[in-house]
Amino acid sequence: MLSESLGNTYCSQISFTDSRECWWGDDTTARKSFLTSDKPMWGQNELKKLTVWIRPQDCDTRLSCPPLVNSSLVIDEGDVPLTRVPDATIPFTCAEEWLVVKGPSYPKGLVTCTVNPGQTPQWVPDECELECPSNYTLSQDETACFKFTTETGHGMDAVDRCVEEGAYLPYITNPDDLLGDTNVTYYIANVVKTDQSIYPAINASTYGDLGYTAINDTSNTAISDCILLASPLLYNVIHCKTLANIACMLPTRCPEEYRLVEGRCFRLMQTTTPEDFLDNLYTCNAEGSALAYPQTEATIKGLTKMAMEEINWGNFTEPVNIALGLNLKYVIRLYRYLSKM
């Protein structure tokens, strides 16, 4: 509102005695609601007094950093300063778990309004770095933390054990990351698809192309086969029920097209033709995966939310069926949950 202020220069059609609102720029800005309310709010706090300084947008662009609107940085409202002039700083938290800024404001970082010659001011954040737990080792490229254990189990045992501590099976291509004992095999997150390709891809046809040597004959792999790695430069493609050592990775990451739900990776694959259970099972197996089998109510809720967000419901006039791989115990749990919705 510009009545009785110098801002009337930009709304000449309204006199200084007029109390009507006058806005310029983007009328859709969310901040407009803060200023037009009879009880202006800043976040959850009701303001007792609100003073607004106004200047042209081109002046603002030349002299200060842009507003941090829709920023990917995690910033607490209470840390936002009153000014955006050069050298202004705002504390922020690294968005991804296990990332910190190793500086004076540890574990938070600072985003600073910086001016480079011939350029308009821009925010420049401190660099986030991965900080591994004490029982994990930083990968050679410093993008992941690995833990190699003496525990053994089959493929799903390895997944369950890692999920218990908020981790997942590791993605490993650099042999220098295999810090475990020599000739000890570990389950990894990569799998072999029915077309014999490795998923997620490793920029090679097989681990043999990366210089690894096959422990056994890997030419007759099946859809349920997993990949085991060992040091030095050994690999095996074998049935996922084979006992092997367990290795875990932080932060937890899912392959492209998959979503992390309660510590596991899920993908919703849509089809326009009816399929029976075995068809759905084969579709997942061809991806090197299995039909989803949620084991907790939280996972069921997460998958429900995932389906609600990813399905284009406008394309359907009838109920949508989603296939899950469940035994009787989980079917009863799923039924009880759905019956409450």
Report pLDDT digits (tens) over 185-221: 899 988 877 777 787 888 777 788 888 888 876 555 5
Of the CA atoms within 13 Å of residue 223, those in its CB half-sphere come to 10
For helices 328-340 and 297-310, the axis angle rounded to 10 degrees is 60
Mean pLDDT of the chain: 77
Distance of CA 310 to the CA centre of its chain: 16
User: Tell me: the pLDDT tens digits for 132-172?
Assistant: 999 999 998 888 999 999 999 988 889 889 988 889 999 88
pLDDT above 90: residue 246:
yes
Return the number of other C-beta atoms located less than 10 Å from residue 205's C-beta: 12
In percent, how much of the chain has pLDDT > 70? Answer: 73
Q: Which of 258, 325, 330, 268 is nearest to 297 (CA)?
A: 330
Distance CA 227, CA 237 (A): 5
Q: What is the pLDDT of residue 36?
A: 56
**Using CA atoms, how far apart are residues 60 and 284, in angstroms rounded to an integer?**
54
Instruction: pLDDT band for 333, please (50, 70, 90 cuts).
Output: low
Tell me: pLDDT of 10 over 50. no
**Mode of pairing for the β-strands spanning 234-239 and 213-214:** parallel
Pick from 309, 271, 170: which is nearest to 228 by CA? 170
User: Which range has the worst mean pLDDT, 9-18, 71-80, 239-248, 259-268?
Assistant: 9-18
List, in order of start, the domains of the chain with CATH numbers. 1-54 (no CATH), 69-131 (no CATH), 137-250 (3.10.100.10), 259-340 (no CATH)
Rg value, the chain, Cα: 28
- Residue with structure tokens 């997460």? 302
pLDDT digits (tens, 9 = 90+) for 218-233: 555 555 578 888 888 8
Count of H-run helices and E-run strands, the chain: 6, 17
* Collapsed DSSP state (helix, strand, coil) of residue 4: coil
More confident residue, 247 or 337: 247
Q: Are 202 and 173 in contact (CB under 8 A)?
A: yes
Under the banding of pLDDT at 50, 70 and 90, the label for residue 283 is confident
The answer to whether residues 299 and 261 touch, using CB atoms and an 8 Å cutoff, is yes
Please, how many CA atoms are within 13 Å of residue 175, restricted to the half-sphere of its CB? 15
Q: Which of 45, 122, 31 is nearest to 76 (CA)?
A: 45
Does position 39 have pLDDT exceeding 70, yes or no? no
18: confidence class by pLDDT, cuts 50, 70, 90: low
pLDDT at 146 (0 to 100)? 94
